[in-house]
Structure 1
Amino acid sequence: MSVWTAWLEVPAADRASREQALEHLAEKGFVITSREVSRDGPWRIEIFGEGDRTEVAAAIGAGWHWEELGDRDWVAENQRSFQPFAVGPFWVHPSHDAGSMPVGLLPLRIDAGMAFGTGTHATTSGCLKMLATLDRAETANAVDVGCGSGILAIAMAKLWQRPVIGGDNDAEAVEVAQENAVLNGVSDRCRFVHAFGLRNEALQARLPYDLVVANILAGPLMELAESFSAAVRAHGRVLLSGLLLEQADDILTVYRRWGFALERHIDLETGGAIWRTLLLQRT
């Protein structure tokens, strides 16, 4: 079956909205990547797939460039563009390059590939930074909703040396997260399940949670507010990311209705857009 890519270069300021518009394709199994072509833009957004391209062509319209990839290992090519870096107390690196890790950091071995979450995007970096500010004594029971690559659950397991559970509505992402837990030596502390939000027997069995982490998108975050409120203990927290700065007020309005109050936030930039990570506490 032929492997193909469709790509488009966009201004840095447009990158975030373009990526969000492609989210429905990622949910159907197509791989979406983006990288900065030059400092301060533009960005190259690529969609990878195999076989029939009709669905993608209808979704993206004209103006995109199409290439047949033949026998090229496009996942490996994407991985080679991923370089080690520090974020908070973590050293994030791919399998092929551990780099020179500074003393005292916790290694997170994550490869770019079939599931979202390598730490390079502001949403994931914001979560990693925020996790490092939390008191271990107040995070005994944590869940990662929409775990993607598993990077946040793995980070929590390493940071706090305790079991963490995660879930994702993409069965392939669950497999990737499990593999990454093995690579990071925390397979005994990380469990990942196929779930839509918190709708899974294993996730329900661990209620109430001290901490719910969700790095997804603004729309799903608002839809999950009620279930998160029911799942978090009194004075427990939710850590929310995947939202642009201009979406934060809408998220806060919804979560306040369900008994949460803003504790603090982190703003980081990626691709010319500001992304906000929120820490809320249930009152």
Structure 2
Amino acid sequence: MTLDNLSGVPAWLSDALCRMATGGSFSARKLFTNDKEALFTIMRPIVLNGIDQVADRHDLADRSLRVTLPVIRPRHRMTESQLSFVFDTAAPKILGGLCDGVMCALKNRQSVQVENPPRMADFTHWCVAAEEAMPHWDKGEFLEAYGNNQDESIERALESDHVANAIITLMSDTFAWEGNTATLQKALEGVVDERITRLKLWPQTPSSLGKRLTRCKGFLRSSGIKVNQQRGGDRLITITNEKAAPAASSNVSISNGQFFE
């Protein structure tokens, strides 16, 4: 499925695309029956095209491969008929290369081992298994390139997440922080600009902040920041920054929240 010329992806569509990318199902009552059920299951590749950062929610960015295309200069532009002719000429080589890759992956898929695979584990496994058929790929080059692509996607997604940015700022020179959701909200509002707190995207209640933490803590973990949310009671939250040395933090109390060594 291809979505073209996007200026953004709303939250509901982002969630739907995530389910479609990794597989999902929904059920409905079968037509003209009272008790039978129809199950619809889908898993498809998706192309999202746009000038702006499209996959800016964490779970969608984590499933994506970002490709930034160069600007086509006027002297290189083609008519549709010219482009079709060039593509048709190259099509046999493209198809042959794809078939070589699939054949190689089928041959190697049982013997290839990928340590610490990312979320798209099957996709990664297939690409690594096909590496030897790709004339310009060295062994391990795909994993390196894919990891760099994922890091860039995470970085761009974090840039658009005000809560994640506030936590990174809060923990910039701190090893650990502990407190409840209400205390964390006050602490975060103390490190961001007042204009940010007036945005609709900024959580206005401790409960909405808790939901945002659940969504963004996976990407915060990739930045070395771990968020642990306990259930029950006053729902204690512990945030640790692996990149900050314990000795660099100080025992400063902020209401009920504490920075500690």
TM-score band, normalised by shorter chain? under 0.3
Greater helix share, structure number: 2
Q: TM-score, length-normalised on structure 1?
A: 0.26
Instruction: Select the structure of larger CA radius of gyration.
Output: 2
Greater strand share, structure number: 1
